């Protein structure tokens, strides 16, 4: 995106900072994330040099095969996480009223308090949060999640425990409904179907339906194909956007027997057509792309070589993408907004406000970002 286009976008976002904004309904996952470093070398009892890359970590693990290995791990921070929590936090920081139906438990861990305070309304979702050991490296992250209790979430569970009348009322008032982390819920395809048929059918409006799968590496091809069909069925409720990272796009393309991902915009276009939905966006560390039936766009993002925090960056990309959709921005501007939201987050370990996002775009335009 040109410097002039970034400046124009910054001005437009700044002019909309006072709102009003459409509300958004998000659900269902919540995680307590332990952001963890693997120690390469400890200098003193209070300081250490972290292992630099996933490649280094992989080489160390491979070398330990047939023997054993031991490394110190340091939990640098425990924080609220999960796609619904993080995406909702990003939207709330931008000024959008967020209504959340998230499984934080009856007594949420203290780490969730700042995020939950930002939400406009919270519908109880009787499930304890998952837990993630999130190992961060300069070139990526490795996330090991504890989610076995999510198997209890079934359509029957939702029918008994979800205040679906309140959920439907908020859905009818929302500009968008967000459904996240399909991969970590064994029965989520059936849950989506129940929501679509029993709760959301016949809404008086057509809200944007925004999906994030989370990494589906552990799910079978048959499960992915069934989920893909359900995405298409949601077009009866409202226009569907699926946002995936490159790993998720690669897995989905393989299952749907599509060409291996190459150019991100081409991949997004082929996936969108095959899925039969309104839009597919794909984000990578250095670029992002999106495709609709009539437009496609690709943007090279504001790469950060030394992120302060990488866990949650994709969710902030999604918050920027959805915010831009609700503001009616064109595909290129949507991508730039999303990349700026993610770029701000990895440098500051928090979500940006709309004025901060506009300022970030100006700095990006002037090549002033680290």
Task: Measure the CA–CA gap between 219 and 266, rounded to whole angstroms.
Answer: 25
Q: What is the mean pLDDT of residues 324-328?
A: 97
pLDDT beyond 90 at 42:
yes
pLDDT beyond 90 at 1:
no
Query: Residue 19 has what pLDDT?
Result: 81
pLDDT beyond 90 at 17:
no
Task: Measure the CA–CA gap between 335 and 237, rounded to whole angstroms.
Answer: 24
Query: Residue 318 has what pLDDT?
Result: 98
Q: What is the mean pLDDT of residues 117-135?
A: 94
| Token pair of 243 as six digits | 């946002």
Q: What is the pTM for the complete model shown?
A: 0.92
Under CATH, which number does the domain 3-33+81-132+145-365 receive?
A: 3.40.1190.20
Residue 246 · residue 270 · CB < 8 Å:
no
In tens, the pLDDT along 55-79 reads 999 999 999 999 999 999 999 999 9
pLDDT beyond 90 at 222:
yes
Cα-flanking dihedrals φ and ψ of residue 115, to 5°?
A: -70, -45
**Residue 78 in 3-state DSSP?**
strand
What residues does each domain of the chain span?
A: 3-33+81-132+145-365
In tens, the pLDDT along 230-285 reads 999 999 999 999 999 999 999 999 999 998 878 999 999 999 999 999 999 999 99
Q: Facing residues of 369 across strands?
A: none
Cα-flanking dihedrals φ and ψ of residue 258, to 5°?
A: -105, 165
Query: Residue 178 has what pLDDT?
Result: 98
């Amino acid at each position: 995106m040109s410097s002039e286009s970034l400046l124009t976008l910054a001005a437009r976002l700044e002019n909309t900072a006072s709102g009003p904004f459409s509300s958004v309904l998000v659900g269902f996952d919540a995680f307590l994330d332990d952001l963890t470093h693997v120690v390469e070398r400890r200098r003193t009892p209070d300081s250490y040099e972290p292992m630099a890359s996933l490649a280094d970590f992989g080489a160390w693990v491979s070398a330990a095969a047939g023997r054993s290995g031991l490394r110190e791990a340091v939990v640098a921070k425990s924080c609220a996480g999960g796609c619904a929590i993080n995406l909702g936090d990003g939207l709330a920081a931008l000024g959008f009223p967020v209504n959340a139906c998230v499984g934080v438990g009856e007594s949420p861990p203290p780490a969730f308090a700042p995020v939950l305070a930002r939400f406009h309304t919270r519908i109880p979702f009787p499930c304890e949060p998952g837990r993630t050991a999130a190992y961060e490296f300069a070139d990526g992250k490795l996330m090991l999640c504890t989610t076995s209790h999510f198997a209890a979430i079934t359509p029957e569970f939702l029918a008994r425990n979800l205040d679906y009348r309140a959920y439907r009322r908020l859905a009818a008032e929302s500009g968008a409904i967000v459904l996240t982390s399909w991969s970590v819920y064994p029965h989520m395809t059936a849950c989506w179907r129940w929501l679509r048929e029993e709760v959301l059918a016949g809404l008086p409006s057509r809200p944007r339906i925004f999906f994030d799968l989370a990494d589906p590496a552990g799910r079978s091809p048959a499960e992915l194909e069934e989920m893909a069909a359900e995405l298409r069925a949601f077009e009866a409720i409202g226009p569907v956007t699926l946002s995936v990272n490159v790993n998720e796009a690669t897995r989905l393309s393989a299952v749907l027997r599509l060409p291996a991902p190459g150019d991100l915009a081409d991949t997004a276009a082929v996936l969108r057509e095959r899925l039969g939905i309104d839009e597919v966006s794909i984000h990578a560390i250095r670029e992002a792309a999106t495709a609709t039936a009539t437009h496609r766009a690709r943007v090279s993002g504001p790469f950060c070589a030394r992120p302060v925090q990488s866990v949650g960056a994709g969710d902030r990309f999604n918050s920027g993408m959805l915010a831009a959709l609700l503001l009616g921005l064109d595909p290129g501007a949507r991508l730039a907004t999303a990349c700026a939201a993610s770029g701000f987050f990895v440098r500051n370990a928090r979500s940006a406000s709309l004025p901060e996002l506009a300022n970030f775009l100006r700095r990006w335009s002037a090549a002033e970002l680290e």
